[in-house]
Chains A and B, each alone.
Chain A
Amino acid sequence: MTMKIKHHLTDELLMAYAAGSLPEAFSLVVATHVSMCDECRARLAEYEAVGGAVLEDTGTPEMDAGSLEATLRLIGEMREAEEAETAAPAPQASGLFPQPLRDYVGGDLDAVEWRSVGGKVRQAVLPTDKGAAARLLYIPAGAAMPDHGHSGMELTMVLQGAFEDADGYFGRGDVEVAGEEMEHTPVAAPGADCVCLVATDAPLKFSGFLPRMAQPFIGI
């Protein structure tokens, strides 16, 4: 059964991804969502088209003397390297994770190296550049995340199960975009354990005493 995606990426995120100005961790969430969402894929194509129009209109400085010839030489040199990498691996037929996420994990759900972060919640940090952090979270069905606010932006995309907070119900493929004004306590829906991809560009602010103690260990 395919469930319809209800919570999509914002225009600001799609435009910044099209422009290439998002930190890698946010780009990973965008690429993962777009892999599953035809609606956002079409919107992304529009934003890339704006990029094409901007390029057309950017101005035309002189190229260096002999630039075309240098490029033709470069084409000859690049050929061998290109031929070596030709066949990009075909996307695997099925699995929980879309291809961009699988590239970061090194496989599907069974390849994730989980670490406990207290209670039954587990996480796995994914390697990205310093602009923001990306992690997978595993929240057992019915369990709550600590209540927290945000000092920056937080994107949470559901890959399995579902969670709920004051803003609504988020199922597979849905993305919650949380900004500084938002404080929430996501609770994993009963039924299936919830697996989410989370990207944050600033540490979260926990309101309870214990979670604040745990923060240095959790690192979120």
Chain B
Amino acid sequence: MAQNEPPKAPPVKEETTPEAHWVNLVQAVKTRKDQRAFASLFAHFAPRVKAFLMKSGADPALAEEVAQDVMATLWHKAHMFDPERASVATWIFTIARNRRIDVLRKSRRPEPEDLPWGPEHEPDQADTIALQQESEQLGKALAALPENQRVLIERAYFGEFSHSEIAAETGLPLGTIKSRIRLALERLRQEMN
């Protein structure tokens, strides 16, 4: 591990959104193994990953262990992060989801072939900013959904629940769940257009 270097002034990158801030921190981890940047990412995302795993059915001790593991993976895979294709939260979500499949389900996850240009290309600035703004907007749109729709979306992402398992647990008919999720997704799409 590199020594903790004094923080350099970041190159003239304006932080137009909170998302741009997280992206800069991941870049700092990637380019100069910046432990302070990592500590900031850890403070924000590690508890969220832990919560995500607990809601997916892990006990607190396992959730803690997996959250540490996910954050360590972030450090090592920082060069794979592409701010043009995903927000930092989305990228961390996919790492946590894959670890959950490994650890909780003890199963493999086939991944799509990577795009021909691979993760190493230089991201386009305009596309990156557009994606950052969309991520902010999506977060707000999700929070603004009616409670009964938002909860079902969240539970679908906590992952150990199929739609029929949500039905068994909530007592809602499967058709209602499907149409609420569909409604919620339509609303999110409208907000994004």
Residues of A participating in the B interface, judged by any CB pair closer than 8 Å: 11-12, 15-16, 18-21, 24, 27-28, 31-32, 34-35, 41, 44-45, 48-64, 67-68, 70-72, 74-76, 78-79, 82, 91, 98-100, 103-104, 128-129, 131
B52 adjacent to chain A (CB < 8 Å): yes
In the assembled complex, which residues on chain A have CB atoms less than 8 Å from the CB atom of B114? 91
Residues of B participating in the A interface, judged by any CB pair closer than 8 Å: 1, 35, 38-39, 42-43, 45-52, 54-55, 60, 63-64, 67-69, 71-73, 75-76, 85-87, 89-94, 96-98, 100-101, 105-115, 134-135, 138-139, 142-143, 153-154, 156-163, 178, 181-182, 185, 188
- On whether A53 and B135 interact (CB within 8 A), knowing A12-B178, A21-B161, the answer reads yes
Across the interface, do B135 and A52 meet the contact criterion of CB distance under 8 Å? yes
In the assembled complex, which residues on chain B have CB atoms less than 8 Å from the CB atom of A28? 110
In the assembled complex, which residues on chain A have CB atoms less than 8 Å from the CB atom of B162? 16, 21
- On whether A71 and B110 interact (CB within 8 A), knowing A11-B185, A20-B159, A63-B50, the answer reads no
Query: Which 10 residue pairs spanning A and B have beta carbons closest together?
Result: A52-B90, A52-B89, A35-B113, A60-B47, A20-B97, A31-B110, A99-B113, A34-B112, A100-B110, A59-B51
In the assembled complex, which residues on chain A have CB atoms less than 8 Å from the CB atom of B153? 50, 54
In the assembled complex, which residues on chain A have CB atoms less than 8 Å from the CB atom of B107? 24, 129, 131
Question: Which single residue of chain B is at the shortest CB-CB distance from A93?
Answer: B116
In the assembled complex, which residues on chain A have CB atoms less than 8 Å from the CB atom of B135? 49, 52-53
Across the interface, do B112 and A50 meet the contact criterion of CB distance under 8 Å? no
Across the interface, do B55 and A58 meet the contact criterion of CB distance under 8 Å? yes
Across the interface, do A20 and B46 meet the contact criterion of CB distance under 8 Å? no
- On whether A31 and B97 interact (CB within 8 A), knowing A19-B157, A58-B51, A60-B48, the answer reads no
In the assembled complex, which residues on chain B have CB atoms less than 8 Å from the CB atom of A76? 1
Closest Cβ of chain A to B122, distance in Å, is 19
Question: Which single residue of chain A is at the shortest CB-CB distance from B111?
Answer: A31
